[in-house]
C-alpha cells in the first residue's frame, strides 16, 4: 500500500510543527497549507487520505474551507478533522455542521492522536473501496 498522506491546514507554526512531527513519526506523508484557501487548493490537487483542519485562520477559515471541500465532488469523501482550541461546544457543533467528520481538541493529546488518525484513515479507505 502506498504511504498514506495527511494534509495539515494550520496557520500556527508551533501547532503545525507538533502535528507534523506526530504524523511523520507514525509513518504518514505530510502535506501542509497555512490557510483555508491554500488548504482547499492543496486538497483538490493532492487528494490526501485525511485533512486536519485548524478553524481560526486568515484568508479562509476552517469552517468555510470544510464547507468548500464537502461541496466539491472531488474532495467530498476525504475525512476532515477540525483542530480546535475552542472550548465552547457551539464551536465544535459549527465545525460538524460545516462538514467536519470530527474534531481534535487543542492542546493535542499525544497518546490518543495517532490512534484517532489511523482509525479515520482506515475507515475512509474502507468506505472508498466498499
Ligand atoms: Mn489558527
CATH number at residue 33: 3.40.50.2300
Q: How far is the CA of 129 from the centre of ligand 1 (A)?
A: 33
Tell me if 2 sits within 8 A of 25, measured CB to CB: no
Number of other CB atoms surrounding residue 86 within 10 Å = 16
State the cell numbers at 11.
Answer: 496557520
* 70 CA → ligand 1 middle, Å: 20
Q: What does the pLDDT look like over 41-82, one tens digit per residue?
A: 999 999 999 999 999 999 999 999 999 999 999 999 999 999
Would you give the DSSP letter of residue 4?
Answer: P
C-alpha 32 – ligand 1 centre gap (Å): 14
Q: How many structural domains are present in the chain?
A: 1
Which residues keep their CB under 5 angstroms from ion ligand 1? 11, 54, 56-57
Domain that holds residue 59: 5-129
The tens digit of pLDDT for each residue in 70-115 reads 999 999 999 999 998 766 778 788 999 999 998 888 888 888 899 9
Query: Which of 56, 48, 66, 47 lies closest to 5 in space, CA to CA?
Result: 48
Which residue(s) pair with 50 in the sheet?
6
Going from the Cα of 2 to the center of ligand 1, the distance in angstroms, rounded, reads 30
Question: In angstroms, what is the span from residue 62 Cα to ligand 1's centroid?
Answer: 9
Handedness of CA 84, 21, 58, 35 (dihedral sign): negative
Containing 70, the helix (H) or strand (E) segment is helix 62-71
Helix, coil or strand: residue 41: helix
Cα(57) to ligand 1 centroid in Å equals: 5
CA distance 56 to 35: 9
Confidence (pTM): 0.92
Amino acid at each position: 500500500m502506498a504511504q498514506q498522506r495527511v494534509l495539515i491546514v494550520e496557520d500556527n507554526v508551533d501547532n503545525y510543527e507538533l502535528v507534523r512531527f506526530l504524523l511523520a513519526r507514525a509513518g504518514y506523508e505530510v502535506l501542509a497549507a497555512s490557510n483555508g484557501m491554500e488548504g482547499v487548493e492543496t486538497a483538490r490537487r493532492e487528494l490526501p487520505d485525511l485533512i486536519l483542519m485548524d478553524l481560526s485562520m486568515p484568508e479562509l477559515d476552517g469552517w468555510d474551507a470544510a464547507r468548500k471541500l464537502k461541496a466539491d465532488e472531488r474532495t467530498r469523501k476525504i475525512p476532515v478533522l477540525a483542530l480546535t482550541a475552542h472550548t465552547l461546544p457551539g464551536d465544535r457543533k459549527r465545525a460538524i455542521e460545516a462538514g467536519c467528520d470530527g474534531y481534535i481538541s487543542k492542546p493535542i493529546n499525544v497518546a490518543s492522536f495517532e490512534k484517532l488518525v489511523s482509525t479515520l484513515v482506515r475507515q475512509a479507505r474502507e468506505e472508498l473501496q466498499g
